[in-house]
Structure 1
């Protein structure tokens, strides 16, 4: 049987996870959580830090390759975000 929890959203869009969920996921101050959209549902998972950068970067590299995003595309996006014009 599922358990239901209610939390209020602040004017900044912030939500406090109920204590029972923080305990269940072993979430502490400074931890990161992942929100994964699955259709009309959202799953919340505790982020587990990778052992090294390669483990962290692998899914990003795979997604970029799948979607045809090149290093030049990333560089251009960074320049755009920084407001750099050439």
Structure 2
């Protein structure tokens, strides 16, 4: 099978290869001499996962308010 590198240094896996890894979005990439090796990776949350309650707890601990979020969004969207 042949894959072409794009101008943005991206490769698309051939359909026949991608179908062998259903649900896999990430691959570990290694280079051994002139060989590129891809290994499927499953990303899992840290111990116990990150749920909404833990996120809210962290935001409260940091003192982030709704106004802080609104200001950050306005800052990120401003035109330069």
TM-score, length basis structure 1? 0.45
Q: Which has the higher helix share?
A: 1
TM-score, length basis structure 2? 0.47
